[in-house]
Amino acid sequence: MYDFYRAAALVPKVRVADTEFNKEAILTKLTEAYEYDAGIIAFPELAITGYTCQDLFLQSTLYENAMRAMSEIVATTENRSEIVIIGSPVKVNSKLYNSAFVIIGGKVIGISVKTFIPNHNEFYEKRWFTSAVDLDVNFVYASEIGFELEEDYEIPIGNNIVYDLENGLKFGVEICEDLWATVPPSTWLTLGGAEMIINLSASNELITKRDYRRSLVKQASASGYCEYLYVSAGASESTQDLVFSGHSLLAENGTILNENRDVVADDYIMIADMDLGKIRADRLRSTTFADSAAYNNDILSDIVTVKCTGYDVVDSDGKYIIAPEHPFIPASKEKRVRRCNDIFDMQVAGLIKRLTVTGSKPVVGVSGGMDSTLTLLVCAKALRKMKKEPGELIAITMPAFGTTDRTYRNSIDLIKSLGADPLVIDIKDACLQHYKDIGHDIEVKDVTYENVQARERTQVLMDYANSHGGIVIGTGDLSELALGWCTYNADQMSMYNVNGSIPKTLVRWMIDSVAENDLFPESTEILKDILDTPISPELLPPDENGNIVQKTEDSVGPYELHDFFLYYSFRYGYTPSKVFVLARKAFREKYTDKEILKWMKLFYTRFFNQQFKRSCMPDGIKVGSVSLSPRGDLRMPSDASSRIWLDEVAELENRYVL
């Protein structure tokens, strides 16, 4: 339903050349995997015999017993719906091939054969095995390869098979060295439709090889827009000259979902849930992927699609799906700080280009909030890199009816700490005059009351920039643009916006990283206080104690939820139902179903009816995978209907809340 599928990498203990022992070990591991409800189960390369049999592979006794053991394993799956993939030798027309038996429902539905046979350094497989390139048949009968059956059947065989299940899941198999090739077989399998690649491997461990292996799997999953399950033979293989590590991992479009942690391992199961919705969404929007298939049409004409009629791997419940609360923010501190620093450098580079081309000074409206703080820091760093005096930064704070002493003080102190001279322009009188001009009652604290202040601030910034050779640098962030939580032709507008593709949840960490790295030592303590200040447009008067009354998240909901909705709705095009399922997983300790759906309804409502503000948003660089620029990632009519999205949210409310 939600494109979740559970995969299992199984690394059993083996006894080299003891097919009976290995069969029992495989069956034991299969039973364990069934308990995890894994739908796709993979064992290592040559798991039925052991990878390190050497010249014993040429012994008829070993081969015959291997086929007998495989026959028995296949028979145990008769009433099962899982895909089981086991490495085994296979003999075809007097040649031995290193292969993977793909099993479901008591049958072998295909045999995928290894293409690249290593014969260098510690490997000398060509002594025993032949490449799939030399395979001169497209199918074999089960009886021909040594199975003893009451009823014989054909089995597709080759290195060009894409397995297509009834539920739409398509996968291919390659074996060990194939991944190391300049052009791996999986390249053609993915372009031929496979959304998942399973690699059965026997990779010995060497210093640094684990990292290199991980990078290969990540890159294969990224370039192929696919899931990549890699399962490798473990430490119970022969240690005559080598040690095998049992390194298993699952990568999803360039991201490692799970891997075993021990450098040398054996006798374990690695479980991971994959989200094929991500793969399908990226393939749908990637013209490069589609073009790659079209440009290689001649080669892809050799791909054989095996329709697995009657076989349907059931969607998993997503128990092991990784759904972080903050998808825009790396979980580890090291990665988070590095990402924030990189984005900051990108913002600075973008601004330097614009200032250089226009020959202008940066003009910033400083409120004491996080967004304007980040913009101010970017401007200060840009001037520093341009070897300009800090005084060229024009920083204006414009107190009005909602300004508190705390935010006003932080604005002034921050500007001074950066070496600039704060310019204070009180806009209360100008707003009062405007209220009078348009006949608005000052006691009516409505949207007009608020927007007059927002537009007056923008007018001051624009006009001051005109008179002092500057350009107004915007402060609005990605989350505000998504919700339209900005005043049209006020904070929605600028001459260049450095924050436009940075979500609110990340803005906080951007400032934190600047403070932690002491990029502006004199500003560090002020930045910490700004981070502790509630998010507010400060357009309504403070309370009797001078505290902020108007808190944005009281009105529009938690930004962490909206950023979550934005990421999955517009990075991958997920339905409200799937976004909700993921949100429940991510925020189960924070928000009830009722709260999630309440703010989800507001998100879709505002995202659609506020598109007109994004249709004319100012220039600004894209820094991440989600951007709402009408010149970049989002081309959307301003008058599109949100009905079907809101209908689905209403159905969720009926199911989970009412």
Residues noted as catalytic: 45, 114, 176
Sort 304 into a burial class: Cβ within 10 Å, 0-12 / 13-18 / 19+.
middle
Is the separation of the CB atoms in 423 and 441 below 8 Å?
Answer: no
Q: How many CA atoms lie within 13 A of 485 on its CB side?
A: 26
Question: Which backbone phi and psi does 637 adopt, to 5 degrees?
Answer: -65, 140
| Residue 308 host element (H or E) | strand 304-308
Rounded distance between C-alpha atoms, residue 154 and residue 140, angstroms: 6
Rounded distance between C-alpha atoms, residue 276 and residue 428, angstroms: 55
Taking alpha carbons only, the member of 284, 278, 260, 280 closest to residue 323 is 278
The 394-397 sheet, strands edge to edge: 423-424, 394-397, 361-365, 470-474, 496-497
Rounded distance between C-alpha atoms, residue 595 and residue 521, angstroms: 41
Taking alpha carbons only, the member of 652, 622, 443 closest to residue 540 is 443
3-state secondary structure 90-120: EEECCEEEEEEEEEECCEEEEEEECCCCCCC
Which amino acid would we find at residue 74?
V
User: Which tokens in the block code for residue 147?
Assistant: 């199975």
Is the separation of the CB atoms in 146 and 64 below 8 Å?
Answer: yes
In the block, tokens 């005043």 appear at 487
Q: Distance of CA 602 to CAs 476, 481, 552, 641, Å?
A: 20, 14, 14, 14
User: Which tokens in the block code for residue 43?
Assistant: 């064992």
Is the separation of the CB atoms in 362 and 393 below 8 Å?
Answer: yes
Is the separation of the CB atoms in 250 and 230 below 8 Å?
Answer: yes
Buried b / exposed e across 150-164, counting CB within 10 Å, b at 16+? eeeeebbbbbbbbbb
Q: How many CA atoms lie within 13 A of 640 on its CB side?
A: 17
Question: Which backbone phi and psi does 286 adopt, to 5 degrees?
Answer: -90, 105
Q: Say how many C-beta atoms besides its own lie within 10 A of residue 205's C-beta.
A: 18
Is the separation of the CB atoms in 102 and 82 below 8 Å?
Answer: no
Residue 22: partners with Cβ closer than 8 Å, 6 or more residues away: 12, 14, 15, 47, 48, 49, 50, 69
Is the separation of the CB atoms in 243 and 207 below 8 Å?
Answer: no
Beta strand pairing status for 107-113 and 95-104? Answer: antiparallel
Angle of helix 643-656 versus helix 593-609 axis, rounded to 10: 170
Taking alpha carbons only, the member of 611, 546, 2 closest to residue 273 is 2
DSSP code for 332? S
Give the gyration radius of the chain's Cα atoms. Answer: 31
User: Which tokens in the block code for residue 482?
Assistant: 């998504």
